Amino acid sequence: MILGKIKKTWTAKDFKQLKYHLGNAGKPFAKIGASKHSIKNYKDTAGAYLCNDLPAKFTKIALSFGLEKTVVAMQKMKVGQVLPWHTDTCSTYIKKNNIKNKNKIVRIIVFLEDARPGHQLWIKDMLCAGEAASYYGWKFGTKHMAANLGEQDRYTLQITGIKN
């Protein structure tokens, strides 16, 4: 597992006012490796909102991790949204970047705000929480889940790249 803390260089205004679109919800959610059983049970709550048009400061943060072929997105989970247990397939990322060895793919999640009650990120059997600027990551093929079972929206920076 990858974990640590970076210097916080942003405010809530930098990410809360961005335009988010509904990402992997409903049937397309199956493409990221969730079971049909999970999708059926979570129905419209499966998924999260994404923003790919980020201010430069967030792209700069992503580059500071020293990954190659980096892709960055902001993720907003509204109250009640869940990304059930799954293993990322990264199929679009692999195809677009002509990745030969998927075992070099890593995903890092940076918390943009202090963890609040009900905001969850699980990597394998570990509940990951922390202050704003804390980050957690995993290698390709690692089972994980995220949920917003709290009372406020949950915001994270999602970074995908190759670690040599």
Q: What pLDDT, in 10s, does the model give residues 120-158?
A: 999 999 999 999 999 999 999 999 999 999 999 999 999
In CATH, the number for domain 2-162 is 2.60.120.10
- pLDDT 10s digits, 113-122: 999 999 999 9
Confidence of residue 27 (pLDDT cuts 50, 70, 90): very low
CA distance linking residue 144 with residue 88, whole number of Å:
9
Looking at residue 26, what is its pLDDT?
A: 46
In the 3-class helix/strand/coil scheme, how is 48-84 assigned residue by residue? CEEECCCCHHHHHHHHCCCCEEEEEEEEEECCCCEEE
Q: What 3-state class would DSSP assign to 15?
A: helix
For 59, residues 6+ apart whose C-beta sits below 8 A from its C-beta are 72
Over residues 29-34, mean pLDDT = 57
Over residues 54-81, mean pLDDT = 94
